[in-house]
């Protein structure tokens, strides 16, 4: 159920993003600088953490930055390929964070967690591939 909600959110984001009007070059530049500044702040906040919590925080921060940049490109130059890139970055970020969270577990629980993360990633990629066919 969680995966389907994620994919529905991805699809609706892509649809909405393709409907938005393109932004000016100055708006693009300001938005890009804000994304980079937000990433630096998030990295700094992660610096106060320790062990795997820090690693998870860093993956989340990087994932948010990558998704935000892909969404910005879609807003700046709307296209099917940019819409797919947004979806791909969301799947990648979700996978990276899930995989990192698995490091908190041991033995069979860790193996099961990693398999679930990989299965969720494969499902997300399959849905992106299906999205390519409909665009």
Task: Say how many domains are in the chain.
Answer: 1
- 3-state DSSP: the chain helix, strand, coil percent, rounded to 5? 85, 0, 15
Query: Does residue 86 form part of some domain?
Result: yes
| 5-16 confidence digits (pLDDT tens) | 344 444 445 444
Please state, for a pLDDT cut of 70, what percent of the chain lies above it. Answer: 82
Sign (positive/negative) of CA torsion 9, 11, 12, 13?
positive
How confident is the model at residue 15, as a pLDDT? Answer: 46
Query: Does residue 73 form part of some domain?
Result: yes
Range of the domain at 75: 25-134
Query: Does residue 8 form part of some domain?
Result: no
Query: Does residue 2 form part of some domain?
Result: no
Query: Does residue 76 form part of some domain?
Result: yes
| 35-74 confidence digits (pLDDT tens) | 999 999 999 999 999 999 999 999 999 999 999 999 999 9
**Residue labelled with tokens 């969270």:** 101
Query: Does residue 97 form part of some domain?
Result: yes
Query: Does residue 57 form part of some domain?
Result: yes
Residue 114, SS3 per DSSP: helix
Query: Does residue 1 form part of some domain?
Result: no
- Whole-prediction pTM: 0.77
d(CA 70, CA 3): 21
How confident is the model at residue 135, as a pLDDT? Answer: 60
């Amino acid at each position: 159920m969680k995966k389907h909600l994620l994919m529905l959110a991805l699809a609706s984001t892509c649809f909405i993003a393709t409907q938005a009007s393109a932004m000016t070059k100055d708006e693009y530049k300001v938005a890009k600088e804000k994304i980079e500044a937000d990433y630096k702040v998030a990295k700094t906040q992660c610096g106060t953490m320790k062990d795997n919590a820090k690693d998870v925080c860093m993956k989340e921060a990087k994932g948010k930055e990558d998704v935000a940049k892909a969404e910005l490109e879609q807003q700046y130059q709307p296209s099917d390929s940019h819409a797919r890139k947004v979806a791909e970055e969301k799947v990648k970020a979700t996978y990276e964070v899930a995989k990192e969270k698995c490091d908190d577990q041991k033995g069979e629980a860790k193996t099961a967690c990693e398999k679930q993360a990989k299965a969720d990633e494969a499902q997300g990629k399959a849905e992106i591939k299906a999205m390519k066919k409909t665009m």
